[in-house]
Amino acid sequence: MSGVVVRFAPSPTGLIHIGNARTALLNALYARQSGGTFILRLDDTDRARSEERFAEAIKQDLAWLGIPPDKIETQSSRLGRYEAALEKLRGMDRVYACYETEEELERKRRRQLGRGLPPVYDRAALNMSEEDRAKYESEGRKPYWRFKLDHRVVKWNDTVRGEIAIDTASLSDPVVCRANGTWLYSLASVVDDIDMQVTHVIRGEDHITNTAAQIDMFAALGANAPTFAHHNLLTLPGGEGLSKRFGSLSIQSLREAGHEALAVAAVAVLTGTSLAVEAVENLAVLAEKIDFKKISHGPARFDPADLDALTAKTLHAASYASVAERLKALDVGGGEKFWLAVRGNLARLSDAKEWWEVVSSPLASKTEASDRDFCKLAETLLPAEPWSEKVWDEWLAAIKPAANRKGRELFHPLRIALTARENGPELRALLPLIGRRRTSARLKGETA
């Protein structure tokens, strides 16, 4: 399995979203699972729309998700290879020049639809005379190029969907090169997959029809087609598809909103499978869950609200080692004891900053007037230092009989005095972190 080579091939024309991340993760984690190679291939032949800032954003997003590529390729650096492939196909009579404008093609499509026919290109350009060509070129028209499909039934065993058969006679011959000389995905992708020795193409089900045409291209170029796996697409709860216009679901936006990368990865990979969408300890655990046979053939309905819950669950189970550097960047101290004390109460990692301030910074008193005498009594019963993990239980054992209180009447005033919060981590864990000096001052109603 070490020969596995996969690729994620976004166009750098916008930010990638969680649906794109699904494809990237399935490729990267399958490569890890197989000991193979994960390539990021930037399909940047659209010179008008491709931007370097988006290319850089894609690289940053993959790094944040924990799947930096083993290799990065750009189509813009490979234009000569596409020209060579076109020349080869031209010599084999497998591509042909066309001169229709977009408006003329659109009129054809409308006429066909009006007659109840599929809007398939009619191959009119194959019947052009030399006079026709000369006339078009005298008008200043430049040809665009189509690949001539074999008009046969193309079959393949899809790793996700099983046996698929498509009659290419039902498809338009795909455009491979525009009149302005720019390359389309269809042929350029095939040439790349051949040159980069891609063994598995894992992508969305919206490419199934493209696959039939591309298998024909692989054969025409004398190459074996890779193994294909077409996964279902993430949709919103109402069935709407995702696109780059959903800025709030871009990986960049999700990161800035404080979601955990592991939570985003788990939602992206596990939604739309027979597996439960649950928090994972690390990407290695997630990689072990990948089984293309468990991917549903129906839509993968994704509710963005699920990310909130999964981010919290991911944090609640996170080890200190996995977050230590990020806590340091937030100026949060306290080490592992602090992390274990507060992680179960976090919705975002940034919430740890608030609890570190509760533990270590001056805190104005919010004790009710009716509880001040009780808190002062509790202060006189504080155990001497050093404090261990048992200090809370020892202190309560002394307070209960002296104050004749129990339950909420006992615990709530202590929580308010020590944290100025109605809820939060267990005081048993927080008390040793707050320390005797601050505990004493807060019980007395002093800012500490």
> Does the structure show a pLDDT above 50 at 73?
yes
Amino acid 115: pLDDT: 93
Token digits of residue 320: 């200190």
> Does the structure show a pLDDT above 60 at 397?
yes
Q: Half-sphere exposure (CA, 13 Å, Cβ side) for 65?
A: 33
Q: What is the rounded CA–CA span in Å between residue 399 and residue 252?
A: 51
By C-alpha distance, which of 72, 64, 143, 70 is closest to 101? 143
Helix or strand run (H / E) with residue 5: strand 5-8
Q: Which residue has the higher pLDDT, 246 or 296?
A: 296
Q: What is the rounded CA–CA span in Å between residue 355 and residue 360?
A: 9
Amino acid 1: pLDDT: 43
Q: What is the rounded CA–CA span in Å between residue 362 and residue 416?
A: 14
Burial class (CB in 10 A: 0-12, 13-18, 19+), 443: buried
What does the pLDDT average to over 51-64?
97
- Residue 242 — pLDDT band, cuts 50, 70, 90? confident
Amino acid 131: pLDDT: 93
pLDDT tens per residue, range 12-25: 999 999 999 999 99
pLDDT tens per residue, range 154-211: 999 999 999 999 999 999 999 999 999 999 999 999 999 999 999 999 999 999 999 9
What does the pLDDT average to over 283-299?
95
What does the pLDDT average to over 224-245?
88
- Residue 10 — pLDDT band, cuts 50, 70, 90? very high
Q: Which residue has the higher pLDDT, 448 or 317?
A: 317
Token digits of residue 252: 């960049």
By C-alpha distance, which of 162, 218, 232 is closest to 186? 218
Query: Which is it for the CA torsion 274, 61, 315, 319, positive or negative?
Result: positive
Query: Which is it for the CA torsion 5, 9, 12, 15, positive or negative?
Result: negative
Measured at the CA of 362, the angle between CA 359 and CA 365, to 5 degrees, comes to 95
What rounded mean pLDDT belongs to the chain?
95
Q: What is the rounded CA–CA span in Å between residue 228 and residue 208?
A: 9
Amino acid 448: pLDDT: 84
Distance in Å from the first CA to the final CA of the chain: 61
Amino acid 241: pLDDT: 81
Q: What is the CA radius of gyration of the chain?
A: 31
Residue 200, phi then psi, degrees to nearest 5: -135, 125
Is 147 strand, coil or helix? strand
Amino acid 32: pLDDT: 95
